[in-house]
Amino acid sequence: MMAGKEIPLSHTADKPHVHHHHHEDAQSFVRAVEHASEERGLRLTPLRKEVLELVAAAGKPVKAYDLLDQLRERHGNAAPPTVYRALDFLLEHGFIHKLESINAFVSCHHPAEAHQVPFLICDNCSSAQEVCDERVAELIEAQARAFGFRPQAQTLEVHGLCKNCRKS
């Protein structure tokens, strides 16, 4: 790849295959997670729900210690293991995603569906966009199988500048 040159993620795609339902605001997202938790018989404790609300309300990737600081402002005695246990639960059940390259968390656009998605991460403003195109994950799975590899998880994070930062 040449510096400054844009590369397409898919050479054959006119439009991405989009999941059918996005949750644009934090409250509807939290309600969707509550509903999914009920359907799956999961226990969304008050602390887990509060951490989920903080991640959703952030509107961009948020680090665990930033969540801890916010919880301490509200409760005074929150400890790192408590936050990490809540994050682990939310990750395990697909309600949030962890962006490994920046060690931060974002809410999942589709909390009722198990899926692997790539992210576009802006290196300037730290925004992250979930790429809702099932073909990307399917292509990676197919390539892995072709090599005799059995994938257990996918993490694809593309760094660059978002549209807003490119205009600036």
Q: How many domains does the chain have?
A: 2
From 81, 3, 93, 80, select the one nearest 40 (Cα to Cα).
93
From 117, 139, 128, select the one nearest 161 (Cα to Cα).
128
The annotation places the binding site at 122, 125, 162, 165
Q: Give residue 54's pLDDT band: very low, low, confident or very high (50, 70, 90).
A: very high
* CATH code for the domain of 151: 3.30.1490.190
Domain that holds residue 66: 23-112
Residue 104 amino acid letter: A
Same domain, 63 and 105: yes
Same domain, 41 and 102: yes
Same domain, 49 and 92: yes
Report if residue 148 sits inside a domain: yes
Same domain, 91 and 77: yes
C-alpha atoms less than 13 angstroms from C-alpha of 91 in its C-beta half-sphere: 15
Same domain, 102 and 163: no
Decide if 157 contacts 101 (C-beta within 8 A).
yes
Same domain, 108 and 37: yes
With H, G, I as helix, E, B as strand and everything else as coil, classify residue 90: helix
pLDDT digits (tens, 9 = 90+) for 117-154: 889 999 999 999 988 888 888 888 899 999 999 887 77
The percentage of the chain sitting over the pLDDT mark of 90, rounded to a whole number, equals 60
Point out the domain boundary residue: 112, 132, 156: 112
Point out the domain boundary residue: 68, 95, 112: 112
Report if residue 1 sits inside a domain: no
Same domain, 91 and 124: no
| Consecutive H or E run containing 91 | helix 80-92
Report if residue 10 sits inside a domain: no
* CATH code for the domain of 97: 1.10.10.10
What are the phi and psi torsion angles at 164 (to 5°)?
Answer: -65, -40
The annotation places the binding site for Zn(2+) at 122, 125, 162, 165
Please say if the pLDDT value at position 13 is more than 80: no
Range among 3-7, 11-15, 164-168 rated most confident: 164-168
Same domain, 33 and 104: yes
From 132, 130, 150, select the one nearest 140 (Cα to Cα).
150
